[in-house]
């Protein structure tokens, strides 16, 4: 029988801080051995140190979203599995080795590793799940090329059967994931970009262009002269890809 990971049991276990939040909206993240004396590890993500008002209004909601997403993707390689929910303000997940992609130098990441990221995202979308926050800090990579996607707190679980407004929302979120993946490839392996990803960089979803365009206008209104419009950003990526093709 597997030992139960209750809050009382959790408090007795030594832990190593992986990330201590620097503001009131983020979770603290720890690593600890579980089960005890097994040489295996788990990750504790908790909001217990955040203000009560934030935990009630948002923190617990994010943890529930992450738990729901990970359960929907539980047998996909590259997605951690949920181990326990000791209380409303914490979740325990499988620990996966790897260094965030943002700590890898440009040119040190193979196209094959980024294709693994693409496969995980495609499998998630096939189940009606979008990541929603895909960037270099949330992609773990080992020297052997193993890939793990973490931080599914902003994920959306729409399910395989969708219609009407629900399906429209899913498609907009899915397009944001595709564009985020294309940005990773454009930085680390631009020659591996697919036609779909090239199109995502050039245009993005309707939601992306709406939000980005509004943000551009606001920044320009307040004198931020370096702000880029969606079209200027797309042109920047096109130049990057053209330079890569000449190497």
Strands 90-94 and 41-46: antiparallel
User: Stretch 68-94: mean pLDDT, rounded?
Assistant: 96
**pLDDT at residue 230 in the model:** 54
Higher-pLDDT residue of 147 and 226 is: 147
Is the pLDDT at 5 greater than 50, yes or no?
yes
The fold of the 7-94 domain, in CATH, is: Phosphorylase Kinase; domain 1 (3.30.200)
Q: What is the pLDDT of residues 16-47, one digit of tens each?
A: 999 998 888 899 999 999 999 999 999 999 99
What CA–CA distance (Å, rounded) separates 138 from 85? 21
What CA–CA distance (Å, rounded) separates 45 from 64? 12
**pLDDT at residue 246 in the model:** 47
Q: Report whether 124 contacts 76 (CB < 8 A).
A: yes
**Of the CATH numbers 1.20.1050.10, 1.20.1250.20, 1.10.510.10, 1.10.760.10, which one belongs to the domain with range 99-246?**
1.10.510.10
Q: What is the pLDDT of residues 92-113, one digit of tens each?
A: 999 999 999 999 987 889 989 9
User: Stretch 3-14: mean pLDDT, rounded?
Assistant: 90
Question: What is the pTM assigned to this prediction?
Answer: 0.83
Is the pLDDT at 217 greater than 60, yes or no?
no
Is the pLDDT at 119 greater than 60, yes or no?
yes
Q: What are the boundaries of each domain within the chain?
A: 7-94, 99-246
User: Stretch 74-88: mean pLDDT, rounded?
Assistant: 96
Concatenated DSSP letters for 139-187? EEE-TT--EEE---TT-EE--S---HHHHHHHHHHHHHHHHHHHHHHHH
| 208 token code pair | 């992306």
**pLDDT at residue 140 in the model:** 97
**pLDDT at residue 186 in the model:** 85
What CA–CA distance (Å, rounded) separates 91 from 97? 18
**Smallest Cα–Cα separation from 68: which of 152, 177, 169?**
152
Is the pLDDT at 216 greater than 50, yes or no?
no
Give the chain's end-to-end CA distance (angstroms, integer): 57
Average pLDDT in the chain: 86
């Amino acid at each position: 029988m597997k030992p139960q990971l209750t809050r009382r049991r959790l408090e007795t276990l030594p832990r190593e801080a992986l990330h201590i939040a620097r503001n009131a909206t983020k979770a603290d993240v720890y690593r600890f051995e579980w089960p005890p004396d097994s040489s295996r590890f788990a990750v504790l993500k908790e909001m217990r140190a955040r203000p009560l008002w934030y935990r009630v209004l948002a923190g617990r909601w994010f943890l529930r979203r992450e738990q729901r997403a990970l359960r929907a993707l539980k047998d996909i390689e590259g997605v951690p599995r949920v181990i326990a929910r000791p209380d409303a303000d914490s979740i325990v997940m499988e620990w996966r080795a790897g260094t965030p992609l943002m700590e890898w130098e440009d040119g040190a990441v193979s196209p094959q590793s980024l294709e693994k990221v693409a496969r995980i995202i495609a499998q998630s979308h096939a189940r009606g799940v979008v990541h929603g926050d895909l960037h270099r800090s949330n992609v773990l990579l080992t020297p052997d090329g193993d890939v793990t996607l973490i931080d599914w707190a902003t994920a959306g679980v729409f399910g395989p059967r969708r219609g009407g407004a629900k399906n429209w929302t899913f498609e907009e979120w899915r397009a944001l994931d595709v564009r985020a993946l294309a940005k990773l490839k454009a930085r680390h392996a631009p020659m591996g970009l697919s036609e779909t990803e090239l199109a995502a960089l050039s245009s993005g979803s309707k939601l992306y262009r709406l939000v980005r365009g509004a943000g551009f206008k606001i920044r320009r209104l307040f004198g931020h002269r370096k702000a880029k419009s969606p079209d200027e950003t797309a042109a920047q990526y096109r130049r990057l890809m053209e330079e890569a093709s000449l190497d």
